[in-house]
A and B are shown apart, each in its own frame.
Chain A
């Protein structure tokens, strides 16, 4: 055992505990930094190998060493938190978009389409009570125009929202690409630090923050390499690999469906294959633009067609005040886009007296047709009823989405807090470490003093006994 080893031991203790205090300081300084991962100085006791050869003996202690500064992070918890936030993003986008739809339908409001339709049936009844009246006809035509205008507005609202949601999708995809570039840009620094053995904690924290956001947006799969850099995959597409980014692109396909909507795809690069994005905000938006909104418009078209058909079928059997020509009340141009194109026949708009109240066999002041039109409101096929059903369904869907989203948000919060309990800084813990390190430092200093005194005794006092 070499001489003065204890002196060296004391030195390793001093420097190691200084290092621990540094790390505690770093942790305390970053107690409120979002995405900061706490560090821990890992201490190991050093054991000196006895020299091999002639004087080999048992191993002897050589003090303590900071073997590494570890970043306390649990990959499994990361995965869990990211999975939860992907789902939360998926549901949050759908909830937001469908809430807009619900708001636009104005189901419970006084001026909803269903209320306007009921007012139209009422207008027919008022006309039936006074079948010779031009005023009553004016009122009916006005209400019919209002119904048509509201239906048009609802439909164009869906189309406008479709455009807006697509713009939003493009913005999100741009953000995904930016994040991917950010992750790729971090790679050289991380690899260099890894190679040199110097910890690159800030870079890794940054990488995790980017991955968190990416997970919320598209729910990617991140594969950590041995050199601490990551590759990012999305439905088998290597978004980031080897520091190279293959960006995504949101496209609208040309084949337009019956409602005038193009199918929206997220593609792997321009001209690449269409990816299935089933989670994250982007996945939510894709669902909204490819399913929720087209469904919505199809339902509105059904309602519009029901309005035109039920009214026209009856109205054509009647006659107006001026002549016996049979006319439609509503006009639909073409089989598609019924809700967008519903309008009152221009003929009747120009001359409301053409509105039929009397049946074919009745006198001009007959009212059987007007009554029959008014009675639409009592039938099971009342379009107002169909519209209310639509409103109810959207409401139920929003309520269900909201509940799932709240649950997902709670899960996300839980997963984050589980992760936070590993990666986060606890002041009490750091302060305890601080006190501990301080005491250890003091004790090491004491050791130094003791050995110094021993040496003093050995060097200066040896042989002076009894002098």
Chain B
């Protein structure tokens, strides 16, 4: 058996080391409890830290996706309301045209119908040029209003015919949400505003055959608008379900992050109490050990 001499300075050094270690433990728990965080530096727990950083980036991205989604949602809702109004106006125009196709109307009545149809054309033009945040709702990626004056009189579509807007609403999830102004342009190339104005003139002139043709054209346009309304409704529903999923994700990610980086207070307090107890025990030992020597017993 190796008999190790226990010397005074070795005892003192050991006690000091233990005391320092205990004190460090107590202060570590203090720091955790005070900051409420288990991770105060990456090196406290590197793997958990890396996970936390990933979650934090993801959370930031999710919030951004939420902002994008909200923006698209506002856009879609405005589109929906606007297209609905256009559809109403077209229905009203259809009714007026049915009246205008009657061959026995007096010129005064035709005149009133003409004025009303022109007012509808103006209203539809205004609706087609609706802006949101200073941008034209139906102009695609082009600045400026969707419909402007055409060189040969009337109006023309100045936006993108192909330009559907997209938004990034989730990682790898891109959603087309914009409605191009082409919804107001028939496959034949004419647009609804010019057609309404033309129909107004035809009603004014009493050309009933032309008015009937106009009714068919307005029907085509109504269908086009209704189809677009259906698409917009689908997009809106899709945005809602995406937002729901995103909220769940945000909640889950936040919870996972908190589990990694936040202190379990009860656990930390118990650990601190036990560290403190062992520190106090060390102090008591020091007080006893250092004052004891053979001197206490020699006469």
Contact = CB atoms under 8 A, between A and B. Distances in A.
Contact of A125 (B50, B52, B68): B68
B226 interface: no
A212 to B, nearest CB: 14
Interface in B113-157: 133-135, 139-143
A417 interface: yes
Given A99-B43, A363-B143, A363-B163, A421 B10 contact: yes
Interface in B36-93: 39-47, 49-50, 52-54, 56-57, 60-61, 63-64, 67-68, 71
Contacts of A384: 57
A395 B49 contact: yes
A363 B162 CA distance: 11
Interface string B17-29: 1000000000000
B160 interface: yes
A425 B9 contact: yes
B43 A399 contact: yes
Contacts of B234: none
B52 A108 contact: yes
B287 interface: no
Interface in A22-39: 31-32, 34
A424 B8 contact: yes
B50 A388 contact: yes
Contact of A362 (B41, B44, B160, B174): B160
Interface residues of B, number: 56
Given A365-B135, A426-B6, A398 B172 contact: no
A107 B42 contact: yes
Nearest to A368: B166
Contacts of A131: 141
A420 B7 contact: yes
Given A371-B174, A431-B294, A378 B61 contact: yes
Nearest to A359: B141
Contacts of A364: 141-143
Nearest to B37: A108
Interface string A405-424: 00000000100111011101
A392 B50 contact: yes
Interface stretch (A114-122, A247-255, A274-282, A345-353): A114-122
A122 B160 CA distance: 26
Interface in A120-178: 121-122, 125-126, 128-132
B165 interface: yes
A402 B40 CA distance: 15
Interface string A102-116: 110101100000110
B176 to A, nearest CB: 12
A136 to B, nearest CB: 11
Nearest to B65: A125
Interface residue SS majority, chain A: helix
Nearest to A31: B8
Contact of A429 (B5, B42, B133, B134): B5
A366 interface: yes
B231 to A, nearest CB: 20
B288 interface: no
A424 B5 contact: yes
Nearest to B49: A395
B41 A395 contact: yes
Contacts of A421: 4-7, 10
Contacts of A363: 139-143, 159-160, 163
Top 4 A-B residue pairs of the complex, sorted by shortest distance between their CB atoms? A395-B42, A424-B7, A366-B141, A363-B142
16 contacts: A107-B42, A125-B64, A130-B71, A132-B134, A132-B135, A362-B160, A363-B159, A366-B163, A388-B50, A395-B41, A398-B42, A420-B9, A421-B7, A425-B7, A431-B295, A431-B298
Interface of B: 4-10, 13-14, 17, 39-47, 49-50, 52-54, 56-57, 60-61, 63-64, 67-68, 71, 133-135, 139-143, 159-160, 163, 165-168, 171-172, 174, 261, 293-295, 298
